[in-house]
Amino acid sequence: MAVMGVQVVVTLLAASLMQKMAPHWSFARWLLCNGSLRRYKHPSDEELCALAGKQRPKAKRDRRMNGMMDDKPLSVPRDIDLRLDTSPITAVDALVLRYFLDYQWFVDFAVYSTAVYIFTEGYYCLVDPRKEMNIGVLWSLLTVVFSVKVFFMVMHHYFRSEEGGERSVCLTFAFFFLLLAMVVLVIREDYLEFGLEPALAGVSTNLESILKQRGWEWTLPIAKLAFKLGLVALCSFLGACLTFPGLRLAQTHLDALRMAADKPLTQVLLHGSFLAPVLVLVMWIKPISRDFLLHAPMGKQTVQIMSDSAYNTARLWTIVGLCLLRLAVTRHHLQAYLGLAERWVEQMRKEAGRIPVLEIQRKITRIYCYVSVVSLQYLGPIILTFHCTLLLKTLGHHSWGLYPEPPPVPAAAAVALWRPGAEDVRAAMEQVTAVLGGIFTPLFFRGLFAFLTWWVAACQVVTSLFGLYFHQYLAAS
C-alpha cells in the first residue's frame, strides 16, 4: 500500500470489481431488468389470423388449395382488434438487445468512476496529499471520452441507415451548432461568464515566455486561433451527437406525461427533469444569476446574498442535483418509449387496407430491441454533464462547501521552473510537468469545463425544444 499509493490500490480494486462483478451485479442491467419495465410482445401468425377471422393454412398443399401462393406474404386487415401482451424485461431478454453490452459496460464504468471520484475527494479532504496525482480526475476524464465515443457510435448507426433522413438531420444540426458556437464564443464575459477569455489570456502570457526562449513567439496567434477553431469543431460534433438524444427525450417526455396523467407528483418531476438544462444555461448568464445574487436589489440598496465562492459551490451542487433528478425519472422515459408499440398499434387500427403480418411483428420487435440504444441516448448526456461538473470542481479548484476552497497555484511560479539544458531524465520530466502546469492552470480548466458543461446543456435545450415542436405539430399533421 505504501509503495503503490492508496489511490492506485483503489483504482486497481475498482477495475477488478468492475470485471468480476459484471456477471453477478450490474447497475445498468438492474436499471433495465429489475422488473419495473414491461415490454410488448409481438403476436404470432396464428393469433393475427384468428383476429382476422380466418385460419392460417399450415401445409403447402393447403395454401395452394386456398389460392395463396408461396411468394405472397400473409396479411391481415389493419383495423383488427389487436391487443398486445406485456411481460417484464429479464436479463435473458436483454441479451438480444442491440448495443446492450456497450450500454452495460459504459453505465457500469460511469458508476465505478463516480465511486472512485468520491473516494479520492474524501481522501484529499482528510489526508491532503499534495504531491499525488488525483486518480478520480483520470477516471472522470475517461468517462467523458467514453461518453463522446458512445454518442459517436449511436450517430454512426444513424448514418448507416438506408433511408438517409437521419444523416441529413445530423448534418443540418451540426452546421447549425457550428454557427451557434461561433456566436457564443464572441459574447462578452459580462453576459456569459465561462472564463474562457481570462483563461486564454493567462495561457498566452505563460506560453509567450516559453516560446520566446525558443524564438517561436510568432506561433502564439496561430495557437490561439487553432484552439478556438478546435473548440468550435468540438461544439459542432457534440451538437450533432446530441441531436437524436434530444429529439428522443422530447418524445418520451410527452409520452411519459400522458402515462402519468393521474399522478401530479410524477408530472412535476418529469417537467423538472425536462427543464433541468434550461436552469444550467441560466446559471452561467451573469446578469440574471451571479450579479442578481451578489447584488440583489432591496429597495434603494443592494444586498449580497452569497459570495463568489458560495455561488460556485451552489452551482456545482445544483447541477449534481439536476443530474440525480433526471436519473430518478429514467424508468418513466424508458417505459414511455416501450409504449410506442401500443401507440403504433392504435394508429394502425385507424387506417384502412391490409398490412403484412411480418411487418407488424417486425415493428413491435424493433421497438423493444432498441431500448438499450434509447437508454444510452437518455443516460449519456446525464453522465457527460455530471462528470464535466466533477472535472470543473477538481481541476478548476472549486469547493463542495464541505471544506475551504483551495487557492489556485500561481502560474508564474510554475513557469519559472523551466530550465533548458537539463540532462537528467527525472529533472526533465519535472520541468515538462512544471511547464504544462504553468500553461494549463486551474483558471484554464475552469473556463474550459464551464463552457463544455454549459454547451452540453445548450445542445439538449435546442434539440429537445425542436423535438417538442416536431412531435406535437409536424408529426401530428
Residue 319: per-residue pLDDT: 96
pLDDT for 190: 86
Residues 6+ apart with CB under 8 A from 314: 306
The closest alpha carbon to 455, from 377, 379, 385, 376, belongs to 385
Q: Compare 337 and 130 and report the one with higher pLDDT.
A: 337
pLDDT of residue 11: 84
Of 3-17, 202-216, 301-315, 336-350, the range with the lowest mean pLDDT is: 202-216
Position 234 scores a pLDDT of 95
User: Which residue is associated with the grid cell 434509447?
Assistant: 374
Tell me which residue has cell 399522478. 263
Task: Return the closest-CA partner of residue 268 out of 329, 203, 323, 178.
Answer: 329
Strand, helix or coil at 302?
A: strand
In 317-412, the DSSP E strands lie at 354-356
Predicted confidence band of residue 440 (pLDDT cuts 50, 70, 90): confident
CA–CA distance, 189 with 197 (Å, rounded to integer): 7
Closest by alpha carbon to 50, among 298, 264, 276, 357? 357
Q: Where are the beta strands (DSSP E) in 84-195?
A: 85-88
pLDDT for residue 4: 53
Residues above pLDDT 90, as percent of the chain: 39
Residue 219 contacts residue 451 (beta carbons within 8 Å): no
**Could you tell me where the beta strands, DSSP code E, fall in 62-193?**
75-77, 85-88
Q: Which residue has the higher pLDDT, 336 or 477?
A: 336
pLDDT at 296 over 80: no
> Does pLDDT of 416 surpass 50?
no
Which pLDDT score is estimated for 274?
95
Mean per-residue pLDDT, 314-318: 94
Report DSSP letters for 49-88, one per residue.
Answer: HHHTTSPPP-SHHHHHHTT--TTSPPEEETTS----EEEE
C-alpha cell at 225: 486561433
SS3 (DSSP) at 397: coil
323 or 409, which is more confident: 323
* Strand 296-298 relative to strand 301-303, pairing: antiparallel
In this prediction, residues 373-393 reach a mean pLDDT of 95
As a whole number, mean pLDDT of residues 55-68 equals: 53
CA-to-CA dists, residue 51 to 29, 48, 56, 208, 317, angstroms? 36, 5, 11, 78, 55
Nearest partner of 114 among 456, 439, 382, judged by Cα: 382
Residue 322 clears pLDDT 80, i.e. is over it: yes
* Average pLDDT of the residues of the chain: 83
Selection from 273, 256, 260 nearest residue 379 by Cα: 273
Q: pTM here?
A: 0.88
User: Distance (Å, rounded) from C-alpha 151 to C-alpha 168?
Assistant: 17
Amino acid letter, 426:
R
pLDDT at position 353: 83
- With contact defined as beta carbons under 8 Å apart, do 55 and 86 qualify? no
Average pLDDT over residues 222-251: 91
Contacts of 129 (CB under 8 A, 6+ apart): 123
Question: How many residues make up the chain in this entry?
Answer: 477
Q: How confident is the model at residue 456 (pLDDT cuts 50, 70, 90)?
A: very high
Report whether 446 contacts 195 (CB < 8 A).
yes
Check residue 1 and give its pLDDT: 44
Rounded CA-CA distance 181/73 in Å is 51
